[in-house]
Structure 1
Amino acid sequence: MIRLSANLGFLWAELPLQVAIRAAADAGFEAVEFHWPYHLTAAELKAALNAAGLPALGINTVRGNVQAGENGLAALPGREAEARAAIDQAFDYGAAIRARNVHVMAGFASGPAARETYLGNLSHAADRAALEGMNVLIEPLNSRDAPGYFIQTADAAADIIAALGRAEVRMMFDCYHLQIMQGDLTRLYQRMAPMVGHIQFAAVPGRGAPDEGEIAYDRLLPALAALGYDGFFGAEYRPAGPTSESLGWMRAFR
Structure 2
Amino acid sequence: MQFSANLGLLWTDRPLVARIHAAKAAGFAAVECHWPFDTPASMVKRTLTEANLPMLALNTSPGDLASGDFGICALKGREEEAKAAICEAITYAAEVGARAVHVMAGKGGDQNVFIEALEFACELSAPLGLDILIEPLNPYDVPDYLLSTTDQAKAAIETLNRPNLKLMFDCYHVARTEGAVLERFTTLQPLIGHIQIAAVPDRGAPDHGDIAYSTLLPEFSRLGWQHPIGAEYRPEGTTEASLGWMRDFKS
Q: Secondary structure at the match of 1:156?
A: helix
Is 1:83–2:82 an aligned residue pair?
A: yes
Q: Secondary structure at the match of 1:102?
A: strand
Of 158, 171, 179, the residue aligned with 1:162 is 158
Which of structure 1's runs of 4+ aligned residues deviate more than 3 A? none
Identity fraction in percent? 47
The equivalent residue for 2:31 is 32
Instruction: Write the deviation string for residues 20-62 of structure 1: whole angstroms up to 9, x where unpaired.
Output: 1111001100000000011111001111111111000011000
The equivalent residue for 2:143 is 147
Distance (Å, rounded) in 2 between the aligned partners of 1:230 and 1:159? 25
Q: Secondary structure at the match of 1:136?
A: strand
**Displacement, 1:98?**
0.5
Alpha carbon RMSD of aligned pairs, Å?
0.7
Q: Secondary structure at the match of 1:206?
A: coil
Q: Secondary structure at the match of 1:240?
A: coil
Is 1:173–2:169 an aligned residue pair?
A: yes
Which structure 1 segments of 5+ residues have no match?
none
Distance (Å, rounded) in 2 between the aligned partners of 1:67 and 1:28? 35
The equivalent residue for 1:136 is 132
Instruction: Write the deviation string for residues 191-243 of structure 1: whole angstroms up to 9, x where unpaired.
Output: 10110000000000000000021111111111011111122100000000110
Is 1:226–2:225 an aligned residue pair?
A: no
Q: Secondary structure at the match of 2:168?
A: strand
User: Please, what TM-score do these two structures have when normalized by structure 1?
Assistant: 0.97
Is 1:43–2:45 an aligned residue pair?
A: no
The equivalent residue for 1:210 is 206
Distance (Å, rounded) in 1 between the aligned partners of 2:236 and 2:88? 33
User: Please, what TM-score do these two structures have when normalized by structure 2?
Assistant: 0.98
The equivalent residue for 1:94 is 93
The equivalent residue for 1:18 is 17
Q: Secondary structure at the match of 2:49?
A: helix
The equivalent residue for 2:249 is 253
Specify the code of the residue in structure 1 equivalent to 2:27.
Answer: G
Q: Secondary structure at the match of 1:137?
A: strand
Q: Secondary structure at the match of 1:32?
A: strand
Is 1:186–2:179 an aligned residue pair?
A: no
